[in-house]
Structures are given as C-alpha cells and as structure tokens.
Amino acid sequence: MIVASVVVLLVATAQENIAKQRIATGFGFFDDEANFAIIQTLIPYSETSSYARALLVGLLNTLLVAALGIALASVIGFTVGIARLSPNWLVARLAAIYVETLRNVPLLLQLFFWYFAVLRALPRPAASLSIGDAVFLNNRGLFVPALSFDGMAWLAPIVLVMMVLASRVVSTRTRAGTRWLDRWPRAGLIAFGVVSAAGILAFTVRAEVPALTGFSFQGGVRVIPELMALVIGLSTYTAAFIAEIVRAGIQGVAKGQHEAAQSLGLSRWQTLRLVVMPQALRIIVPPLTSQYLNLTKNSSLGTAIAYPDLVHVFAGTALNQTGQAVEILTVTMVIYLTLSLLTAAAMNWYNSRLRLQER
C-alpha cells in the first residue's frame, strides 16, 4: 500500500515536472502510426500500424523467447542435472564442467559469443548450409519449409482421434477375451487411423520450400539469427542453474528410497523415474520457478543483439521516437510484473498438485 502510494505520488510529480518542461505526456500516442519496421512479427504488422500494435508485437516476441527458452532450458537442465549424478565418471565430470562454465560467465557475454562469434561465422546466403535442399542455414538465419494446410486437412486429426476412441471401446468390450485377441483389433484400428490420416495429409498439405531469390531466401519460415542466439544463450545459461537445482532435488530424496526401489529389482532408470523424481520434484519446483522468471526477465538482454523484444521495440524504439519515457517505462514494467506473477502463479499451482496427498 505504502509502496503503491509512493509510486502514484512519484508519477504525479513526474507528470507535473514533465508538463513544465514541455515534454509530451499521456497515452494518446498509442493510436499513432509507429512508422518503423520490426524484423520479426508474429502477427501482421506494418509501418502504418499503431504504437499499441508495436507493443503487442514486442510482447509476443518476448513470450516466444521465454517459451522456447524455458522448454529448452528445462530439457538441458534436467539432462545435465541427472548426468552430474551419473556413476560414469566422465559423464559426471562433463556435466560438472558444463555447469561451472556456463554459470560463471556473464550472460550478456554469452549472448555476444553466440551472436557475434558463432552465428556470424555462418556462410552467406548463396553458400548456405542445407539439408536436402529444403532447410537452409546461413548468416541471415535458418530457413525451413512452411507447411500450408488446405481443403480437407482438418479431417486427418478427426479420423485419427475417432480410430483411437474406437480402439478403446473395442478393448473394453473384449476385456474378457484372451490377451492377443484383446490386442489385435486395437492395434488394427490405430494403424488404420494413422494410415488414413497420413493419406489425407499427403493430399492436403503443401510445403513451401524456401528459395534463394535476390538478396536472400524467400518463402518458408525464417528463424532470424537474433532469435537463435538469444534462445540458445538464455537456455544453455539457465540450464546450468536448473541442473544444480535438479541435482540438489535428487540428492534431497532420502537414500532409503533408492535402496528400497533397487531391492525391489527396479533398474537405475526406473528408480529415478518412478520413485526418486516424483519426490524430488517437490524440492525442485519452487527454485525452478525463479529460474523461469529469471529467464523471462533476462530475455530483455536480447535488445543488445537486436532481437525485437518488448524492451527493444517498445521501451527502446518507441520510447525514443515518442520521447514519452514515463508512460512507456511504466507500461513495460507493469507487463514484466504481470508476466512474472502469472508464471509464479502457474508454478505454484503445479507445486500444490505435487504436494503429498494426505489420505
């Protein structure tokens, strides 16, 4: 409450002083044409779009990086964390080296490394690396075929879902029967579903393959190097912290649990998956949440490598072109705060589901 009223007071004073300095104020500029282009837009946007739309474009770009980064960081983090506890000395050492290196080099430096050193070293468009002449990698980005669905493509998932449902019905009906009788109709139905869905897709999906025309590749989906560098940099960095959290989580599960599971004859992998992990997650999730939050906030470092996130597009270009620092920074901070609160709320919900159910 006190903080809120101080903020309100500060903003009011600020507004007054700004008016005195004859600097434009208010949110009227939101509807004005932005007049600048943005390199990556997930929704239709042009120079004639409004500042409000530019804000949305920037926000979606931030969300994209955050989502990709969180997914990738989790995969790498869990893998490395588990690897650190591997009985294999080499694997454990490598995982430890990974953690120590990535954790101790400033993130901005790592982003510069990926962007200016690694991705810049890629060839020119004309000399692209390519996979099957459909996927191309060069210093302008990664170009992959775009899929376009037309006509009856929507039938494919429906057929598949229907066949899977049908197989369920069959399997309950034949429950009384012998095992192989139980299995065959199910497998048959699912196989039929897969084949016919694939057949439908083969006729209704067209892939638009990128082609080199003029300066660069046209058509297909383009992943800009700024996005690649940011996702790689953010996720490998955050993964180092997640790995430590995962290791601590696993080590936090009572030793007796391992031993009990092993004496039941479970393999090392089964022990981990069925006995240890479910308990470890309770320890892992709270600190994991703060890593996810960090990653989201750190994504604004993308500004330094020209990735058009919220800070770059809105708190950067839009701020500079309109000069309305107070309004723009307030909106930007409110958005980051909301994102953080939403992430935290989602993770709290997940955490409460993991808690021991008292019966």
Partner 1 sequence: MQRSLLLSLAGGLLAAGIAAPATAAGGDTLAAVKARGYVKCGVSEGLPGFSSPDEQGNWSGIDVDVCHALAAAIFDDPNAVRFSPLNAKERFTSLQSGEVDLLSRNTTITIQRDVALGLEFTGVTYYDGQGFMVRKAAGVTSAMGLDGAAICTQSGTTTELNVADYFRANGLTYTIVAYEKEAQAVSAYDDGRCDAYTTDQSGLYAQRNKLRNFDEHIILPELISKEPLGPAVRQGDDNWEDIVRWTLYAMVNAEELGVSSQNVAEMRRSESPEIRRLLGEEGSFGEAMGLSNAWALQILRHVGNYGEIFDRNLGEGSPLKIERGKNALWTKGGLQYAPPIR
**Residue among 191, 181, 118 nearest 160 (CA):** 191
Tokens coding 340: 């953080």
**Residue among 97, 73, 65, 68 nearest 246 (CA):** 73
Residues 6+ apart with CB under 8 A from 131: none
| 218 is a site residue for partner 1 (CB under 8 A) | yes
Binding segment for partner 1 (CB under 8 A), chosen from 156-164, 198-206, 298-306, 350-358, is 298-306
Of 44, 87, 132, 214, the residue at the interface with partner 1 (CB under 8 A) is 214
Binding to partner 1 in span 139-158, by CB under 8 A: 139-140
Between 226 and 244, CB nearer to partner 1: 226
Binding segment for partner 1 (CB under 8 A), chosen from 142-150, 262-270, 281-289, 312-320, is 312-320
Please state, in angstroms and rounded to a whole number, the distance separating the CA atoms of residues 101 and 106. 10
Q: Which amino acid is at 173?
A: R
Of 14, 94, 96, 194, the residue at the interface with partner 1 (CB under 8 A) is 14
Binding segment for partner 1 (CB under 8 A), chosen from 50-58, 192-200, 280-288, 291-299, is 291-299
DSSP characters for 280-326?
Answer: HHHHHHHHHHHHHHHHHHHGGGGGGGT---HHHIIIIIIHHHH--HH
| 338 is a site residue for partner 1 (CB under 8 A) | no
Please state, in angstroms and rounded to a whole number, the distance separating the CA atoms of residues 336 and 333. 5
3-state SS, residue 218: strand
| 335 is a site residue for partner 1 (CB under 8 A) | no
Please state, in angstroms and rounded to a whole number, the distance separating the CA atoms of residues 209 and 349. 42
| 226 is a site residue for partner 1 (CB under 8 A) | yes
Of 2, 3, 21, 43, the residue at the interface with partner 1 (CB under 8 A) is 21
Between 61 and 299, CB nearer to partner 1: 299
| 61 is a site residue for partner 1 (CB under 8 A) | no
Distance of closest approach, residue 246 Cβ to partner 1, in angstroms:
24
Dihedral sign (CA 301, 305, 306, 307): negative
Please state, in angstroms and rounded to a whole number, the distance separating the CA atoms of residues 202 and 208. 14
| 325 is a site residue for partner 1 (CB under 8 A) | yes
Radius of gyration for the chain, computed over Cα atoms and rounded to the nearest angstrom: 26
Q: Are 69 and 299 in contact (CB under 8 A)?
A: yes
Of 31, 88, 109, 116, the residue at the interface with partner 1 (CB under 8 A) is 116
Distance of closest approach, residue 66 Cβ to partner 1, in angstroms:
12
Between 210 and 225, CB nearer to partner 1: 225
Binding to partner 1 in span 27-56, by CB under 8 A: 35-39, 46-48
Please state, in angstroms and rounded to a whole number, the distance separating the CA atoms of residues 269 and 241. 23
- Binding footprint of partner 1 on the chain (CB under 8 A): 10, 13-15, 17-18, 20-24, 35-39, 46-48, 116, 120, 124, 139-140, 213-216, 218, 225-226, 297-301, 303-304, 306, 308, 311-312, 315-317, 319-323, 325-326, 328-329, 332-333, 336
